Amino acid sequence: MKFKSGKTIFFLILGLFILSTAFVIAQENDSSVADTNTASEQEDNPEINQLNQKIEENKKKIENLKRATEEYSQKIEEYKSKSATFKNQLGLLDNQLVKIELDVRTAQLQIDKTKLEIDAMDYKINQNEKEMDALKSNLIEYIKLLNKSDQKSYLEILILNDSFAEFFNQISYLEGIQADIQQTVERLKLLKETVEVQKADKERQKTELEKSKDQLQAVKNKLQDDQNAKEVLLVETRSSEIQFQNLLLESKQQANEIDSEILKLQDQIKSKIEKLQKEGTTAADTLVNWPVPSHEITAYFHDPDYPFRYVYEHPAIDIRAKQGTEIKAPAEGYVARVNDGGYGYSYIILIHSNGLSTVYGHVSAIYVKEDTYVKPGDVIGLSGGLPGTRGAGRLTLGPHLHFEVRLNGIPVNPLEYLP
C-alpha cells in the first residue's frame, strides 16, 4: 500500500502520535501508583531490622524498670506516713537508694535507646542519599538521550524506519524516556523531602540525648547525696534510737530559734529599711540574682524526698555549689545576723525590703559584719556543706548552699522570688 499524498502521511503520523501519547500517559499513571506504594513501604534489610530489634528490647527493659521503680515509690510513701523513728528513717533511706539506683539504670537505657535511634536514622538517611545520587545519574543519561532524539523530527523517524511498527516503537521509546524523566524527578523530590524530615528528626533525637545525659548525671548526684545521708545518719546516731531522737529535738530547736530570731530582727531593722525606701535607695525588686552561679537544685522547698524529712521540713532550696564558692547578695539589704558555729552550723541572715529576708546556711566563711549594708553582687561569704568542715553542721550531705527566703518571717519557696 502506497501513500501518495503528503497530507495523508501527516495525518497518519499525527494519529500515531496521539495513540502513543495516550499509551504513555496510562503507563505514567500506573507507574505513579506503583511508586507511591513503594515509597510507603518500610525498608526491609537485616541492618535496620537489627537496630529496630535492639530499640524494642531497650523499650521493654525500660518499661520493666519503671514498674519496679513504681513499687519502691509506693514503699517510700508508706514509710513517709510512719512515725519519726530511727528504724523508719533508715528504711526510708534504703528504699530511696534502691529507687534511685533503678532510676540510674533507666536513664542509662534511655540514652542507649536514643543512640540506637540515631544510628537507625543515620542508616536511613544514608540509603536515601545513595538512591538520590543514583537517580541523578540516571536523570543525566535520560536527558542526554532525549536531547539526541530531539534533533530528529517525527517525519525523519518515519523515513528512517522500515515499517510503521518500527516507527511506533521508536515513538513509544522516546515518550517512555520522557515519562521516566518525570518519574525520576518526582522520586527525587520525594526523597529530598524525606531526607529533610529525617535530618530534623535526627537533630531532635540529639537534643533528647543531651537531655538524657544531663538527667542521668542529676540522678547519679542524687544517689550520691542519699548515700551520704545514710552514712551521716549512722554516724550521728550510732544506730541508736535515743541518739536519733536527740538529733531530731536539737534540729527542731535550732530551726525554731532561727524562726524567732528572724521575726525579731525584721522588727528591729524595719525602720532602717523604711528610711531607705523614703530616700529612694532600695531596689524595686528584692531579689535580682541567684546567690551562687549554679542553678542546680539538690533539694526543693518542702521537698517530699528530702532525706532528713523526719528530722524537719525542708524550709529552703539546696543549691549544688563547690566547697568555697563565693556567695553574693541577691539584693540589697542589711546583714542582720552572722552566726559562726565553728564546726557546727554557720549561717548568715539578710533583711531586705518588702518584708523579705534571706538565710544562707552551711557557710564555710563569713565576709560581712552585722548591721552593715550590702548591695546586689556583694560577696558575703563562701559556701560549704562538706561534712566535717567549718560551718557544715551535723546534717549535711555534701558541698551546697542552703538558701531560704522568708516573707514576714515565714519560709516561702525561693524559686518564686528568684529571677
Domain count, the chain: 2
User: 184 and 308: one domain?
Assistant: no
CATH code for position 339: 2.70.70.10
The residue from 207, 236, 265 where one domain ends is: 236
Find the mean pLDDT for residues 218-242.
Answer: 89
For residue 406, the cross-strand partners are 357, 411
Sequence-ordered list of residues with C-beta below 8 angstroms from that of 339, at least 6 positions apart, any chain:
345, 346, 347, 348
1 inside domain: no
386 and 369 in a common domain: yes
Q: Write the DSSP symbol of residue 76.
A: H
Cα–Cα distance for residue pair 305/357, rounded to 1 Å:
25
Residue 406 has pLDDT above 90, yes or no: yes
Q: Tell me: do 215 and 73 sit in the same domain.
A: yes
Tell me the residue range of the domain where 19 lies. Answer: 6-236
Q: Domain for residue 185, yes or no? A: yes
- Residue ending a domain, among 213, 236, 259, is 236
User: Using CA atoms, how far apart are residues 327 and 400, in angstroms rounded to an integer?
Assistant: 11
In a domain, 123, yes or no: yes
The cell numbers describing 277, all together, are: 525606701
Residues 183 and 107 in one domain: yes
Q: What is the DSSP letter of 260?
A: H
Same domain, 216 and 247: no
| pLDDT at residue 24 in the model | 39
The residues that bridge with 294 in the sheet, in sequence order, are none
pLDDT of residue 126: 93
Please tell me whether residues 198 and 248 are part of one structural domain: no
**What is the per-residue pLDDT for 390?**
95
Q: What is the pLDDT of residue 84?
A: 86
Mean pLDDT value of segment 291-315: 89
Q: Looking at residue 123, what is its pLDDT?
A: 92
- Single pTM value for the model: 0.69
| 224 and 250 in a common domain | no
In this prediction, residue 156 carries a pLDDT of: 57
pLDDT score of 220 more than 60: yes
- Alpha carbon 213 to its chain's center: 8
Cα-to-chain-centroid distance, residue 236: 38
- 181 lies in a domain? yes
Q: Is the pLDDT of residue 327 over 90?
A: yes
Q: Are residues 221 and 249 in the same domain?
A: no
224 and 248 fall within a common domain: no
Residue 109: predicted pLDDT:
94
* pLDDT one-digit tens code per residue, 43-95: 467 888 888 999 999 999 999 999 999 999 999 889 888 888 999 989 989 99
pLDDT at residue number 216: 92
Q: In whole angstroms, what is the distance from residue 363 CA to residue 338 CA?
A: 10
- Cα separation, 123 vs 172, in Å, equals 39
**335 and 380 in contact (C-beta within 8 Å)?**
yes
Residue finishing a domain among 193, 217, 236: 236
Same domain, 230 and 247: no
pLDDT at 307: 85
270 within some domain? yes
pLDDT-based confidence at residue 182 (cuts at 50, 70, 90)? confident
Which percentage of the chain shows pLDDT scores above 70? 79
pLDDT for 125-166, tens place per residue? 999 999 999 988 888 887 777 666 555 555 555 555 555 555
Q: Is the pLDDT of residue 203 over 60?
A: yes
Which residues, including other chains, have CB under 8 Å from residue 203's CB and lie 6 or more apart?
Answer: none
Average of per-residue pLDDT values in the chain? 82
**Do 144 and 21 sit in the same domain of this protein?**
yes
Whether 249 and 218 map to the same domain: the answer is no
Whether 31 has a pLDDT exceeding 60, the answer reads no
Looking at the predicted structure, is the pLDDT value of residue 192 above 60?
A: yes
